[in-house]
Amino acid sequence: MTYYAQVQDAVEFIKRRAPQPDVAIVLGSGLGDFASRLRDATVLPYGDLPHWPASNVVGHDGRLVVGTLAGKTVAALSGRVHFYEGHDLRTVTFATRVIASLGVRTLILTNAAGGVNTALTPGTLMVIDDHINFLGTNPLVGSNEDRWGARFPDMTEIYSARLRAIADEAAKEQTVPIGHGVYIAVHGPSYETPAEIRAFRTLGADAVGMSTVPEAIVARHMGLEVLGISCISNAAAGVLPQPLNHNEVMEVARRVRGAFASLLEAIIARL
């Protein structure tokens, strides 16, 4: 079965079990609780979805939840797979292809990220204005599927200026402090070295993580409007005199998930 056919297979499976979503949200490490806010929800474990890769990282539940929130039908992806798990980028972005093929036109990508810019302290929510792809490859490498998008898609405004303005309005209404910045994606799974962080700062990065960028590229390839939000879960290597660990990432995500959920709901209400 071709990759295109696998995506369509998953699309038809979901269509038979859940309503048509208006917007989709990918929930990053420790942020999966947002899915519990959806009402009249249909819950589809990733293991039940045809060809859908399993999520095996702590903090990623591994289920697709489709329900209503703020007058919209929302598809929440509680967990994602990562390049560092050994998947190729076609597998990493399979869910994005399916969501776009379901007819979703707005995608909100969230993640937990390290703060490269020292002004972004742990617990800060950062709207992604742009990104740097430091993965060493691109999810569009290989033959192009013309039914999905152009061979050479434009990435001038990969993160929608309109959606970023909506996020600012929602944050002001909810009195949730947010920042803006550039996200750099690295391969992982090891955390970065202090020297790498200094280099990334010189390149103009404000936050660093191991996801989001492949999904954003594929979403734009398929014509979706994209919003990215990082939860700054830790100071990047060398910023503080202490080692990094995933438990810290999870703890900070738990601490801010209430404010994060309120912000997401206010954004969805404005779409």
Quick: pLDDT tens for 164-186. Answer: 999 999 999 999 999 999 999 99
What's the average model confidence in pLDDT over 27-32?
A: 76
What string of H, E and C letters represents the secondary structure of the chain? Answer: CCHHHHHHHHHHHHHCCCCCCCEEEEECCCCHHHHHHCEEEEEEEHHHCCCCCCCCCCCCCCEEEEEEECCEEEEEEECCCCHHHCCCHHHHCHHHHHHHHCCCCEEEEEEEEEECCCCCCCCCEEEEEEEEECCCCCCCCCCCCCCCCCCCCCCCCCCCHHHHHHHHHHHHHHCCCEEEEEEEECCCCCCCCHHHHHHHHHHCCCEEECCCHHHHHHHHHCCCEEEEEEEEEEECECCECCCCCHHHHHHHHHHHHHHHHHHHHHHHHHC
At residue 24, the pLDDT reads 98
Domain annotation for the chain: domains and CATH numbers: 3-270 (3.40.50.1580)
Looking at residue 159, its pLDDT comes to 98
Confidence (pTM) = 0.94
Percent above pLDDT 70 for the chain? 93
- Is the pLDDT at 70 greater than 90? The verdict is yes
Span 198-203, mean pLDDT?
96
Q: pLDDT at residue 36 above 70? A: yes
pLDDT band at 58 (very low <50, low <70, confident <90, very high): low
pLDDT at position 251 = 78
Across the chain, what does the average pLDDT equal?
A: 92
pLDDT, tens digit (0-9, with 9 covering 90-100), for 215-255: 999 999 999 999 999 999 887 655 666 666 667 767 777 78
Residues recognised as catalytic: 29, 60, 82, 84-85, 112, 210-211, 234, 246
One-letter identity of residue 53: P
Phi–psi pair at 88, nearest 5 degrees: -80, 170
Check residue 54 and give its pLDDT. Answer: 84
pLDDT at 77: 95
